[in-house]
Amino acid sequence: MDSASIYYLGVTLILFLIFVVIVVRTYSKKHAVRGEEPKFRMMDDDYPN
Amino acid sequence: MNQQEGYADDIVKGFVIWSMVWGLVAVLVGVFISFQIAFPQLNFPPYLTYGRLRPIHTNAGIFGWGIGSFMAFFIYITQRLTRTSLWSPGLAKAQLWLFNIVIALAAVTLAMGMNRSKEYAELEWPVASLVVVLWVIFAVNIVMTIVKRREEQMYISLWYILATLVGVAVLYLVNNAAIPVSLTKSYSAYAGANDANVQWWYGHNAVAMVLTTPPLAIFYYFLPKATGVPIYSHRMGVIAFWSLIFMYLWTGAHHLLWAPVPDWVQTLAMGFSVMLIAPSWAAVFNGYFSMNGQWHQMRENYLVKFLIFGITFYGLQTLQGPSQSIRTFSAFIHFTDWVPGHVHMGTLGWVSLVLFAAIYYTIPRLYHSEIYSIGLANVHFWLVLTGQLIFSITMWIAGVQQAAMLNATNPDGSLHYSFIETMVELYPYWHMRAVGGVIYLAGLLVFLYNIYQTIAGAKTQAVAQRA
């Protein structure tokens, strides 16, 4: 395995770890209600605040 | 700016109208080149040949109709989801002018034979440079609007919009890196297999960042608007978004299976392509689950019909695509007519159905009117659906037959059929494809008439009210 392959694999792993953090945060209990708020708020956006 | 509502909507009208003009050009040229394949005597060198017209068809379709509409709806959606007016309506107006100049220049230069020979990246460096300026103007305006937003949280459509702005910029800059030798000719900065690898990293991710993320942004916005019910799960949408972004950029090399690029690159692309089924179908299920208790709207609400059929074709497309990325299946259907069947299910079925719904939804609201005829919208729906299905299914059958013939061998291992013999057998399918194209064109004309009458009626009504 040369340095280019290790670098390539390293970038993939870092991206995967970031993805795991996003999943954990999105589905955390703390975030459950707040994470669904935008879908309700967008239903009434015909006029600016 | 539309002062009454506080949103800069006049520019949205401009982009919608011009995207429809380029969409009509794309389909007209597409139908003509389908006849050129069925009847080769319709090729008139040098300008009206299949080789010159085909890139005009794809550029007008993807960049004129597709990106023109996306620009319209990104501006429309971003303002509403951020509850703020566009950062710079003046810049957007300049963008509309530049957009039309670029598409017109693309059509003229391609007709003259100026072509980089890279699929979906055909434009020579002067026109490609203008595309970069256009995209920077667009991206700055949208990003600055999001920066000054009044909504703290971003709805899922905004994530897809941001991904499109960043993704297209990176892909376009990298793949268009070239060394100009004259005003009309340049050579790629990459060589050999590396060039092919960069090209298909770009080519397949153009599918991701032009034909997937923008329609998803539009779908996620207009489905709840059309049904009056929020999407099933915003969090599922967020996870599907990030997994799609994580996976898509690795898949380009599945266009180069069995080609002289490293084996592990091909396997990686194959693996990520199959994994992409998960985020793609998460979006499909989000759409379907949003219809819980609302399925009656498929019968009653023409907008819902366009959107749900659109997401269904997206689902089918994202099952067929990963299948095609598997080595054995790719070896069978690659270089056959299966591929245009696949591509047109995505462009005509998925992207265009969603765009039709978005235009039907927005035009009456932008012009403070009602749609001219729901009956005509239904006729439009059935014509484009029938035309697209005839096109795609015919090409899939033709592709399987062609693949079987190309793979047939004699007992001594030599090929049973020559390439030209496979071509001769495909003529009936090419005739059917042209018929499918004509039916689709008829549907498009009904759509344009309906929109024209809606706008004309609104203007007449406005004049009457003033008088």
Residues of chain B with Cβ-Cβ distance to A22 below 8 Å are: 238-239, 242
Contacts of A47 in chain B (CB under 8 A): 5-6
The conformational region for residue B6 under phi > 0 = left, psi -120 to 50 = alpha, else beta, is left
Minimum distance, in Å, between the CA of residue B311 and any CA atom of chain A: 19
Q: Is B93 near chain A, with CB under 8 Å?
A: no
Q: Is pLDDT at B4 greater than 80 in this prediction?
A: no
Average pLDDT on B48-61 reads: 97
Q: What is the interface pTM, i.e. ipTM, of the complex?
A: 0.89
For residue A29, tell me if it sits in a domain: yes
Lowest model confidence (mean pLDDT) among B109-113, B178-182, B303-307, B458-462: B458-462
C-alpha angle B32-B37-B40 in degrees, rounded to nearest 5: 100
Domain of A21? 17-49
The dihedrals phi and psi of B326, each to the nearest 5 degrees, come to -80, 135
Distance CA B350, CA A7 (A): 37
Chain-wide mean pLDDT for chain A?
A: 88
Look at residue B18 and tell me if it is in a domain: yes
Q: Does residue B467 carry a pLDDT above 80?
A: no
Q: Quick check: is B208 in a domain?
A: no
By C-alpha distance, the chain B residue nearest A32 is B235
* pLDDT, tens digit, 9 for 90 and up, residues B311-364: 999 999 999 999 999 999 999 999 999 999 999 999 999 999 999 999 999 999
Mean pLDDT over the full length of chain B: 96
**Residue B231 located in a structural domain:** no
Which residues on neighbouring strands pair with residue B179, listed in sequence order?
B187
B85's tokens:
């007016």
In a domain, A36, yes or no: yes
Does the bond joining B215 to the residue before it have cis omega, within 30 degrees of 0? no
> Residue B311: inside a domain, yes or no?
no
* pLDDT confidence band for B5 (50 / 70 / 90): low
At residue B433, does pLDDT exceed 50? yes
Residues of B in contact with A19 (CB under 8 A): 242-243, 246
What total of structural domains would you count in chain A? 1
In a domain, A45, yes or no: yes
pLDDT at residue number B2: 47
Contact B57, B119 (CB under 8 A): no
pLDDT score of B307 more than 60? yes
Residue A24 lies in a domain: yes
Q: CB distance A49–B83 less than 8 Å?
A: yes
Domain CATH code at residue B15: 1.20.210.10
Q: Which pLDDT belongs to residue B461?
A: 87
Give the separation between CA A5 and CA B268, rounded to whole angstroms.
Answer: 13
What span, in angstroms and rounded, lies between the C-alpha atoms of B249 and B152?
29
Q: Is residue B207 part of a domain?
A: no
Contact at CB, A19 and B234, closer than 8 angstroms = no
pLDDT at B161: 98
**Is residue B282 a part of any domain in this protein?**
no
Query: What's the CA gap between B219 and B205, in Å, rounded?
Result: 19
In a domain, residue A11? The reply is: no
Angle between helices B427-466 and B374-407 (to 10 degrees): 160
pLDDT, average across residues B273-298: 97
* Domain housing B137: 10-198+321-462
User: Does B313 reside within a domain?
Assistant: no
- Whole-number pLDDT of residue B249: 86
The pLDDT tens digits for B129-186 are 999 999 999 999 999 999 999 999 999 999 999 999 999 999 999 999 999 999 999 9
Which residue in B156, B230, B238 is closest to A43 by CB distance? Answer: B230
How many CB atoms neighbour CB B355 within 10 A?
28
**Per-residue model confidence (pLDDT) at position B82:** 96
Is A21 part of a structural domain of the chain? yes
The total of structural domains in chain B comes to 1
Q: Is the CB of residue B3 less than 8 Å away from at least one CB of chain A?
A: no
Q: Which positions ≥6 away from B194 have C-beta within 8 Å?
A: none
Residues of A in contact with B228 (CB under 8 A): 43
